[in-house]
A = this chain, B = another copy of it.
Amino acid sequence: MSKQIETVSQWWRTIAAAADKHESLAAARDFGEGWSGLTAEPRGVDYIETYAGGVPAMWAIPKSGVTDRVLLCFHGGGFFSGSMYTHRKLFAHVAKAVGCRALILDYRYAPEHPYPAQLHDALGAYRWLLAQDILADHIAFMGDSAGGNLCITTLLLARAQGLPLPAAVMPISPWYDMEGIMDSLGANAGKDLLFTREWVSAIAAMYLGEKGDPRDPYANPLYADLQGLPPIYIQVGSEELLLDDSRVLAERASQAGVDVRIDIFPGMQHTFQMAAGRAPESDEALARYVAWVRPKLRME
């Protein structure tokens, strides 16, 4: 393990220690904006704010790259925190390496806007991209944690509404299990420096709201029919409480005939790729995504 990747562990320790000390949700969110500090500046990328289907979003536009291929990116943060700012640099690193643009969505937060507000924002952004004459097979979805949930659930809703599907999907440390029944919730307790079983439950309740069903396939795609989905490449750390979310989703997708790849990174924490530009572990993992997605977007 590199010295640099330790910054990820340190960040999760800091977040976990501060979790119950914030005076308000706004304060917790503001504190969480420090997440972006893990990531080095990619340089040579411009950032333009816009509205994608009425939802605030940010274009990350590498100085050299094509404009007709787009990564549609959903940030993590448990649906109640994180932003297009916390993840600006992470997704810009990937966009720069792929040689295309990224559209980073600033979807609404739970609990003020519980499920399915985030899903509708994500689908709205995808529809908006298509309306900008970006071809579906020139689009890939990418997202971490809660954003890795939106990666799949947005696909499901797009399919249900008869939209053409994107070329590829890249969930990073995704969160799918809204029931709290995965084995890794116990097996990795204490290894995962951020999550506890109780906290995952609390965030799920916040996302689903009072009337939410933890088996609703558009919130929990472990209950979804995954047939016909585009190629999926999941990356997850071996130490994560959410490890089995990735494993089980990959298994179900594979059984449904989807072209799916999962890489489990030994010793790595939740969304360790955030140390992009600093830690070799993060850069190497993201390079795998880049090499995988470029041909999917027919860029080589």
Contact = CB atoms under 8 A, between A and B. Distances in A.
Given A30-B40, A85-B41, A48 B49 contact: no
A223 interface: no
B40 A49 contact: no
Contacts of A44: 49
Interface string A28-56: 00100110110011011111110000000
Contacts of A30: 40, 278
A63 interface: yes
Given A30-B40, A85-B41, A49 B46 contact: yes
Nearest to A41: B85
Contacts of A33: 37, 40-41
A202 to B, nearest CB: 26
A45 B56 CA distance: 12
A-B pairs with lowest CB-CB distance, top 5: A47-B47, A41-B85, A46-B48, A37-B37, A34-B37
Interface of A: 30, 33-34, 36-37, 40-41, 43-49, 63, 83, 85, 278
Given A33-B37, A43-B49, 5 more contacts: A30-B40, A34-B37, A41-B83, A41-B85, A49-B63
